[in-house]
Amino acid sequence: MTAFIKDTLIGFWSLLAGLGVTIRYFVKPIVTVQYPREKLTMSPRYRGHTEFIIDPETGSHLCNACENCARTCPSNVISVTGVKVAGTKKKRAVTYVLDYSLCSLCGLCVEVCPTKALKFSDEYRLAGFSRQDMIIDVIARLQAQQRALGLPEEVPPVPEAEEAKTEETKGGEGES
């Protein structure tokens, strides 16, 4: 009889202890993120694929298409082209494409960039059905960010040669 009472009391106590844990967690703030309605804020040290930094002064990127990043990349996944901008002596990137499926996130491209044009994005929601889906058009991404921030969208620079051609055409039209 004594053993029965003892077992009952222990069982009752463990029931109360279990309910105590349930009640404690019931009133605690919810930690579950309601993905995809909610998005996590990533740690500043998180490394997503690389992207252009938006220059606060110009609202655009700082890439001069020097190709340092492409040459340094150990995975050889960066392809960048640029043109000499009309009216200046500077070159500017026209295309910047990255094959993220082969990127090791080593960070060398970010480090070697002389104009500090690159950073790691906080993108963690990439998914695709093929490796092609992991090809990142960095200029298109910049344009999307500019739209989201209400900034003027990136327009490809007019190359020096084309401007010269346009001038020639205008001159030709004027002569005839």
Strand partners of residue 80: 96
Cα(23)–Cα(55) distance, rounded to whole angstroms?
50
Q: Which stretch binds ligand SF4 (CB under 6 A): 5-13, 16-24, 106-114, 128-136?
A: 106-114
Least separation in angstroms between residue 61's CB and ligand SF4 is 8
Least separation in angstroms between residue 53's CB and ligand SF4 is 10
Q: Under the phi-then-psi rule, with left for phi > 0, alpha for psi from -120 to 50, and beta for the rest, what region is 161? A: alpha
Among 54, 93, 139, 142, binds ligand SF4 (CB under 6 A): 93
- CB nearer to ligand SF4: pick between 11 and 74: 74
CB-CB neighbours of 85 under 10 Å: 17
Among 48, 59, 60, 66, binds ligand SF4 (CB under 6 A): 66
Going by C-beta distance under 8 Å and a sequence separation of 6 or more, which residues neighbour residue 155?
A: none
Whether residue 36 is preceded by a cis peptide bond, meaning omega within 30 degrees of 0, is yes
156 binds ligand SF4 (CB under 6 A): no
- CB nearer to ligand SF4: pick between 69 and 142: 69
Among residues 51, 71, 172, 73, the alpha carbon closest in space to that of 117 is found at 51
In Å, how far from its chain's centre is CA 44? 13
121 binds ligand SF4 (CB under 6 A): no
Going by C-beta distance under 8 Å and a sequence separation of 6 or more, which residues neighbour residue 147?
A: 153
123 binds ligand SF4 (CB under 6 A): no
136 binds ligand SF4 (CB under 6 A): no
Q: Which stretch binds ligand SF4 (CB under 6 A): 19-27, 31-39, 67-75, 150-158?
A: 67-75
Binding site for ligand SF4 (CB under 6 A): 50, 63-69, 73-75, 77-78, 80, 93, 98, 103-109, 112-113, 115, 117-118
